[in-house]
Amino acid sequence: MAKEREKEQSKETAISRRDFLKGMGTGAVAATVAPIVLVGTEKSAEAQMGEEITRAKIKLNINNRLYEVEVEPRTTLLSVLRDGIDTSGKRIDLTGAKPICDRGECGGCTIQVDGKVIYSCMMLALDAQGKQITTVEGLANGDKLHPVQEAFIQHDALMCGFCTPGFVVAAKSLLDENPSPSLAEIKEGLAGNTCRCGTYPFIFEAVKTASRKLKDPLRKIGG
Ligand code: FES
Ligand code: FES
Q: What does 4-57 look like in DSSP terms, one character per residue? A: HHHHHHHHHHHHHHHHHHTT--HHHHHHHS-S-EEEEEE--HHHHTT-PEEEEE
Kindly state whether residues 17 and 121 are assigned to the same domain: yes
Assign 27 a pLDDT band (cuts: 50, 70, 90): very low
Assign 5 a pLDDT band (cuts: 50, 70, 90): low
pLDDT confidence of residue 63: 98
All residues at 6 or more sequence positions from 123 whose CB lies less than 8 Å from its CB, including other chains: 9, 12, 13, 76, 77, 78, 113
The CATH number of the domain holding residue 96 is 3.10.20.30
Summarised one tens digit per residue, pLDDT across range 54-99 is 899 999 999 999 999 999 999 999 999 999 999 999 999 999 999 9
All residues at 6 or more sequence positions from 98 whose CB lies less than 8 Å from its CB, including other chains: 108, 109, 162, 163, 165, 166
pLDDT confidence of residue 10: 60
Q: Is residue 141 part of a domain?
A: no
Kindly state whether residues 108 and 37 are assigned to the same domain: yes
Summarised one tens digit per residue, pLDDT across range 184-223 is 999 999 999 999 999 999 999 999 999 999 988 766 554 4
Kindly state whether residues 124 and 151 are assigned to the same domain: no
Kindly state whether residues 195 and 85 are assigned to the same domain: no
pLDDT confidence of residue 78: 98
Q: Is 109 in the pocket of ligand 1 (CB under 6 A)?
A: yes
Kindly state whether residues 54 and 108 are assigned to the same domain: yes
Counted domains in the chain? 2
* pTM as predicted: 0.80
Q: What is the dihedral of CA 180, 183, 187, 188, to 10 degrees?
A: -60
Q: Is 104 in the pocket of ligand 1 (CB under 6 A)?
A: yes
pLDDT confidence of residue 126: 97
Q: Name which residue sits closest to atom 3 of ligand 1, judged by CA.
A: 104
Q: Is residue 140 part of a domain?
A: no
Boundary of a domain, candidates 135, 169, 187: 135
Taking the centre of ligand 1 as the mean of its atom positions, its distance from the CA of residue 215, in whole angstroms, is: 31
Kindly state whether residues 107 and 189 are assigned to the same domain: no
The CATH number of the domain holding residue 176 is 1.10.150.120
Range of the domain at 68: 2-135
Show the DSSP H helices in 55-199 as ranges.
77-83, 147-154, 164-177, 183-189
